[in-house]
């Protein structure tokens, strides 16, 4: 490995497009949405719409910064410039931690499906196989990551499109043997808000985390031939992705089936497929969920490794992690992320309640922390630009009003996590972790101390791009 190598720029437009389209489609949509529907009834559509608006605004702000200055470290490097080195250090490590924990969660979920299909192989062995397979994929080349993700994402997208087409046909009474429900399931069984508006507010807290992952496209864009165009397309597609894939598919579920049906709580998509009379609904959904799990594993490992690589180039992680292989892959960073991922998988089997659940809780509110940092960074960097903002390739709408609205909304969601008992523990544990990481960052960069040698000497990190200081810059990058 050679340190003067640069990250490969081999992600093709079709890779970036599919990563962007399917970035927010996880197993949580296919399985976890049933819990949200049971909690709020048909009114969960309002929760999905509200959470979707927040994500769209956050992605627009991130897109503005990323189009102006594509970086592998994405919002972590922008936090460096806007808030100070301590902020980039803190949010970068918290974000990497989130995805490393996800590796343990998703590997376990995928292994459970594989074990059902092939019970002769223990679940922990399947988890090991999945982790090794996707580690090798990520080490091979960024193109292999993009290719795997393209096909994983294609399965998810095709599955949802078919689901929507059949769902709309059933709602219109075009499927033999399936009676058109009209509005009976939306307005009956207690009405549109059967458990009151409060349940919808609580539902937003469940739903909002389903959208985390949309930002991966802005990180991957740094390894494409034309990162600015890739970022612009990813951000602009966020609106219809959320409208069609999330709100559209959930609308089909709550229109075709009573919200309080036991089958909806268990697996809403399987319940709808059963309604169509399609044989093997459970197996079909298992295949789609497994694909989503593998996609999340693949992207989680990629994202964690690129973030710790970026931290390393800025002197915030071990120097060895910045090494790049001849194939243009930060292989050491990939392996470093994988080692912790393997440990979390092991903890899930050895101590699922005592240790693993605690680790999962530490990542419970990181999505909101990241979004808050993105919004504050964009507010500061855009104001710092002054008249230069007119030259931005992508702009935040109605600046600064929608930026401030986003900040207030995210803070309100954090307050909501304290009020709602189901989310309080996850928030408090996440805050405790964040407090420790921020304290380390503040101590590390107190009064200019601890500035990385690479930055002090003028060395250009991030594969050749110089990271500007947080003072005196008249641009976003």
Give me the pLDDT at residue 279, please.
86
Residues paired with residue 2 on neighbouring β-strands, in sequence order: 324
Position 28 in a domain: yes
Give me the pLDDT at residue 171, please.
93
Cα–Cα nearest to 464, from 67, 72, 11, 68? 72
CA distance 1 to 87: 30
**CATH code of residue 343:** 1.20.1740.10
Give me the pLDDT at residue 243, please.
81
Question: Which CA distances in Å does 154 have to 17, 21, 44, 363?
Answer: 11, 9, 27, 28
Position 470 in a domain: no
Give me the pLDDT at residue 5, please.
63
The phi and psi torsions of 126 (rounded to 5 degrees) equal -65, -40
Number of domains in the chain: 1
Give the chain as a 3 state SS string: CECCCCCCCCECHHHHHHHHHHCCCCHHHHHHHHHHHHHHHHHHHHHHHHHHHHHHHHHHHHHHHHHHCCCCCCHHHHHHHHHCHHHHHHHHHHHHHHHHHHHHHHHHHHHHHHHHHCCCCCHHHHHHHHHHHHHHHHHHCHHHHHHHHHHHHHHHHHHHHHHHHHHHHHHCCCCCCCCCCCCHHHHCCCCCCCCCHHHHHHHHHHHHHHHCCCCHHHHHHHHECCHHHHHHHHHHHHHHHHHHHHHHHHHHHHHHCCCCCHHHHHCHHHHHHHHCCCCCHHHHHHHHHHHHHHHHHHHHHHHHHHHHHHHHHCCCCCHHHHCECCCCCCHHHHHHHHHHHHHHHHHHHHCHHHHHHHHHHHCCCHHHHHHHHHHHHHHHHHHHHHHHHHHCCCCCCCCCHHHHHHHHHHHHHHHHHHHCHHHHHHHHHHHHHHHHHHHHHHHHCHHHCCCCHHHHCCCCHHHHCCCCCCCCCCCCC
Give me the pLDDT at residue 448, please.
59
Position 6 in a domain: no
Position 76 in a domain: yes
The residue range of the domain holding 340 is: 13-441
pTM value is: 0.87
Q: CB–CB of 327/316 below 8 Å?
A: no
Position 465 in a domain: no
Position 404 in a domain: yes
Cα–Cα nearest to 1, from 315, 324, 332, 242? 324
Position 446 in a domain: no
Report pLDDT digits (tens) over 208-256: 877 888 788 888 877 887 878 878 887 887 778 788 888 899 999 999 9
* Tens-digit pLDDT string for the chain (477 aa): 444 467 878 788 788 777 777 666 776 677 778 888 988 899 999 998 988 899 899 999 999 998 888 777 789 999 999 999 999 999 999 999 999 888 888 888 888 889 889 999 988 889 889 999 989 988 988 888 888 888 888 888 888 899 999 999 999 999 888 888 888 999 888 899 999 888 888 888 778 877 888 788 888 877 887 878 878 887 887 778 788 888 899 999 999 999 998 888 888 888 898 888 888 888 888 898 889 888 888 888 889 999 999 999 999 999 999 998 888 889 999 999 988 888 888 887 888 777 777 887 888 889 999 999 999 999 999 999 888 888 888 899 999 999 999 999 999 999 988 988 888 888 999 999 999 999 999 999 986 555 554 443 334 444 444 333 333 344 454
CA distance 39 to 42: 9
Structure tokens that stand for 300 in this block: 């989680």
């Amino acid at each position: 490995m050679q340190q003067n190598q640069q990250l490969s720029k081999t992600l093709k437009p079709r890779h970036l497009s599919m990563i962007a389209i399917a970035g927010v489609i996880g197993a949580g949509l296919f399985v976890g949405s049933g819990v949200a529907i049971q909690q709020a009834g048909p009114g969960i559509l309002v929760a999905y719409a509200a959470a979707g608006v927040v994500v769209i605004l956050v992605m627009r702000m991130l897109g503005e910064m990323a189009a102006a200055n594509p970086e592998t470290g994405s919002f972590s490097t922008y936090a460096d410039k806007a808030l100070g080195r301590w902020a980039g250090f803190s949010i970068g490590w918290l974000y990497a931690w989130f995805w490393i924990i996800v590796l343990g969660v998703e590997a376990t979920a995928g292994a459970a499906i594989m074990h059902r299909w092939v019970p002769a192989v223990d679940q922990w062995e399947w988890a090991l196989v999945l982790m090794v397979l996707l580690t090798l994929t990520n080490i091979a080349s960024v193109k292999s990551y993009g290719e795997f993700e393209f096909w994983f994402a294609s399965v998810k997208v095709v599955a949802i499109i078919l689901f929507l087409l059949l769902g709309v046909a059933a709602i219109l009474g075009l499927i033999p043997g399936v009676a058109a429900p009209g509005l009976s399931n939306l307005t009956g069984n207690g009405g549109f808000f059967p458990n009151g508006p409060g349940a919808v507010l609580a539902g937003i807290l469940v739903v909002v985390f389903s959208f985390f992952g949309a930002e991966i496209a802005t990180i991957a864009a740094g390894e494409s031939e034309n990162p600015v165009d890739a970022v612009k397309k990813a951000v602009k597609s966020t609106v219809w992705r959320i409208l069609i894939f999330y709100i559209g598919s959930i609308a089909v579920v709550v229109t075709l089936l009573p919200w309080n049906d036991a089958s909806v709580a268990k697996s809403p998509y399987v319940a709808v497929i059963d309604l169509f009379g399609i044989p093997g609904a459970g197996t079909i959904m298992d295949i789609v969920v497994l694909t989503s799990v593998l996609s999340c594993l693949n992207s989680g490992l990629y994202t964690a490794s690129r973030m710790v690589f970026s931290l390393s180039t800025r002197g915030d992680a071990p120097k060895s992690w910045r090494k790049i292989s001849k194939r243009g892959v930060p292989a050491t960073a990939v392996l470093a992320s994988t080692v912790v991922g393997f440990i979390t998988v092991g903890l899930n089997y050895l101590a699922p309640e005592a240790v693993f659940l605690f680790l999962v809780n530490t990542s419970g509110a990181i999505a909101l922390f990241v979004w808050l940092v993105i919004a504050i960074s964009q507010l500061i960097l855009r104001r710092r630009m002054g008249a230069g903002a007119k030259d931005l390739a992508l702009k935040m709408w109605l600046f600064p009003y929608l930026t401030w609205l986003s900040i207030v909304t995210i803070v309100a969601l954090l307050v909501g996590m304290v009020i709602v008992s189901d989310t309080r523990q996850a928030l408090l544990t996440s805050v405790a972790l964040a407090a420790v990481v921020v304290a380390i960052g503040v101590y590390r960069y107190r009064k200019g101390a601890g500035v990385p040698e690479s930055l002090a000497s003028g060395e250009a990190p991030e594969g050749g791009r110089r990271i500007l200081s947080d003072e005196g810059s008249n641009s976003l990058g």
